[in-house]
Amino acid sequence: MANNTERVALVTGGSGGIGRASAERLAADGFAVVVHYAGGRDRAEETAKAVTRAGGRAVVAGGDVADETAMAAVFDVAEQEFGGLDVLVHTAGIMPLAPVAQMDLDTFDRVQRTNVRGTFVVDQLAARRLRAGGAIINFSTSVTRLQLPNYGAYAASKGAAEALTLILARELRGRDITVNAVAPGPTATPLFFEGKSQEVIDRTAAMNPMERLGTPEDIAEVVAFLAGPGRWVNGQVLYANGGAA
């Protein structure tokens, strides 16, 4: 069981680039971490091992983010292993790309199920179960401002996640729980690189004044701020994109 001063974080999508970096960064700040995965158990276990090698505490737990029963069991793991839960970092999501005119509607539905329903499910559980002094950190995308072609379904799902974030922050009045969203720009993760040519990657990297892609560690610093010292930031969308938008 956790001691009375240890804070506990659940990172959904902890097998992915930003999720792993966030889990490791929070562990460095003294959090015990539940590393959630949907399909990548091996990668989630690698994340947990990296945390423990660095002297932290971590366990893994799997489940479909859009399945309320499966995710309730993940929240149970946090409480059983570490005594409670203080911070939710919800990085899990999918990003199939296609023009609106060409996207298969089954793919569209899958994006909304994972990215919208999934956010609603985990936020609902967090709203019910986080301890006072906690934080809910959802993930949006800078594409809601950049309006890049082919990102219609994904940006629509993240626009919904932003709306949920801003409303939930107001609904949790009196609970001492902050609710914010991080909106990364193009970030060097497997999710970003999938299906892109080097020319597209280079052009995208040059869009911001820093002239590079973000790194998962760049985004994890924003997560750590919101999870720890950033208590006066609430009900906001923080754009972490090097100045692209």
Catalytic positions: 154
C-alpha to C-alpha distances, 106 to 86, 113, 153, 160, nearest whole angstrom: 36, 10, 11, 19
For 162, the token pair is 């932003």
Strand pairing report for 178-184 and 237-240: parallel
Backbone angles phi, psi at 112, to 5 degrees: -70, -35
User: Closest Cα to residue 19, out of 230, 232, 219?
Assistant: 219
* Secondary-structure breakdown of the chain: helix, strand, coil percentages, each rounded to the nearest 5: 45, 15, 40
The amino acid that residue 150 corresponds to is N
